[in-house]
Chains A and B, each alone.
Chain A
C-alpha cells in the first residue's frame, strides 16, 4: 500500500539520510527510530507530501502521492509535532473543527465520546489554554478515536503522555491495524501493539538500515 523508494533528505548543507526504502502493507506498522536530528520528522513529512524529497519517491497504492493529491490526502491522518489545537477553543470545539477541516462527519455525541475515551471527561468545555501539556496532547489524539482513514502518520504520539494514555494510544493504533489500517510513527520508547505486524526503521548518521521484527 505505502511504498517509499530511495528517499533522500537534505537540510541546508547536510544530508540527513539517503536511500531509505520500505514497503508497508495493510495491518502493518512502521516505527521510525533514530537519534535527535536524524530526520525522523522530515521522513514523516515526506510521507505526507508536506516536504518534497530531495530524491526518491513515495507511492500509495502504486501511484506517486504527488500525482494522487487530494485522493491520497483523503486517506491520510497526520498528527504532527504540534497539536493543531487552538488555545482559545475548548477540546470539543477543537475536535469538531478538526473534523470539519478534514471533511469528516463527526457529530457532537461522537466527539464527546472520543474525549471521554482519552480521559478528558468533564473538561470538554474548558478552553484549551487551561489544560496541561499532556491534556492538550490527549485532545489532539482524540481525533484518532473515530478515525477511519487507512493511513496514520503519527509524529511522537507519546510525548507528554502518562503511562495510562500511552496504553490507550497503543490500543487505538492496535485496533486500527486490526481493521487493516497502516501506521507510521516515531517514538523513542518501545511500542507494544497487540495486533498487527511491527516493523522498525532506524535512521542513523551513516546509512539508514532497515530491519524487520
Chain B
C-alpha cells in the first residue's frame, strides 16, 4: 500500500518538476499579492503589523486555489484517473498520495516564503515563527479540503469558478485559526489554542478527505 502511495507521489513530483511554470506562477502570485499591501496601505508599522496575519493567510488561500483545478483535471483528461480507479488498491490511498504531492508542490513553498514576506510587515521574530508554523500546520488542511472540491467539480464546465465558490467558504475556519494564531502571539496571548485547533483540522483534512474525494472521482468517471 505504501508502495503505491510512494509511486503516486514520485510520479506527481516528477511531473511538477517538468512543469515548473505552474508552481512558479502560484508562488509569484503569493509574493505579489502580499507585497502589494504594504505599498497600498502605507508604511505605518503599527498598521502593517495588524494586517500581516490576515493578508498572508488570505494570499495563501488564494494561491492554493490557483493550483487546485489541475489537481485531477490532467489525470482525468489523459485517462490516468481511470487506471488509478482500476488499480488493485483503494482509490483513496492514491488520492492521499496526490494530496501529499500537491502539498509538497503548492503548500510547502508558501510556508517557506512566508517568513521572508512577513518581514515586509514588520513582524517580530515570534510573530514570524508562529506565522510559519501556522501555515505549516494549516496548508495540508487546505490541500485536503480543496481536493474534495476539485473532485466534485471535475469535468464540469466553468469548474474553476464553481470550485472557488465551493471551497473558499470551507477554508474559513482554517483562515480564522491560522491568522488568529499569529494575532494571539502579537497581542501576547500565546498561539497554542489556535494551533491545536488548526492541527485538528489538518489531521481531519488529510486523513478523511481522501475518501469523499475518491467517491466523487468515481462519480466523475462514470
Give the interface of A toward B (CB within 8 A): 48-52, 70-71, 73-74, 76, 78, 80-89, 93, 97-98, 100-103, 127
Interface residues in B67-126 by Cβ distance below 8 A to A read 74, 77-80, 82-90, 94
Asked whether A73 and B86 contact (CB < 8 A) given A88-B15, A88-B18, A103-B4, the answer is yes
Chain A binding surface, main DSSP class: loop
Q: Please state if A103 and B3 are interface contacts (CB–CB under 8 Å).
A: yes
Chain B binding surface, main DSSP class: helix
Q: Please state if B78 and A84 are interface contacts (CB–CB under 8 Å).
A: yes
Q: Please state if A80 and B90 are interface contacts (CB–CB under 8 Å).
A: no
Give the interface of B toward A (CB within 8 A): 3-4, 7-8, 10-11, 14-15, 18-19, 74, 77-80, 82-90, 94, 221-222
Q: Please state if A93 and B83 are interface contacts (CB–CB under 8 Å).
A: no
Q: Please state if A50 and B221 are interface contacts (CB–CB under 8 Å).
A: yes
Give Cα A87–Cα B14 distance, bound, in whole angstroms. Answer: 12
Asked whether A102 and B83 contact (CB < 8 A) given A50-B221, A50-B222, A83-B78, the answer is yes
A89 neighbours in B (Cβ, 8 Å): 11, 14-15, 18
Give Cα A76–Cα B85 distance, bound, in whole angstroms. Answer: 12
Q: Nearest chain A CB to B211's CB is how many angstroms away? A: 15
Contact partner of B89 among A49, A70, A81, A86, CB < 8 A?
A70
Q: Nearest chain B CB to A44's CB is how many angstroms away? A: 11
Q: Please state if B79 and A80 are interface contacts (CB–CB under 8 Å).
A: yes
Q: Please state if B4 and A100 are interface contacts (CB–CB under 8 Å).
A: yes
Contact partner of A101 among B4, B14, B77, B222, CB < 8 A?
B4
Q: Nearest chain B CB to A8's CB is how many angstroms away? A: 15
For B4, B80, B94, which residue has the most chain A Cβ atoms within 10 angstroms?
Answer: B80
Q: Nearest chain A CB to B4's CB is how many angstroms away? A: 6
Q: Please state if B87 and A102 are interface contacts (CB–CB under 8 Å).
A: yes
A85 neighbours in B (Cβ, 8 Å): 78
The chain A residue sitting closest to B19, CB to CB, is A88
5 A-B residue pairs with Cβ-Cβ distance under 8 Å, sorted by A, are A51-B221, A78-B83, A88-B15, A100-B11, A101-B4
Q: Nearest chain B CB to A128's CB is how many angstroms away? A: 10
A86 neighbours in B (Cβ, 8 Å): 11, 15, 74, 78, 80
B15 neighbours in A (Cβ, 8 Å): 86, 88-89
Give Cα A177–Cα B85 distance, bound, in whole angstroms. Answer: 25
A103 neighbours in B (Cβ, 8 Å): 3-4, 87-89
A98 neighbours in B (Cβ, 8 Å): 83
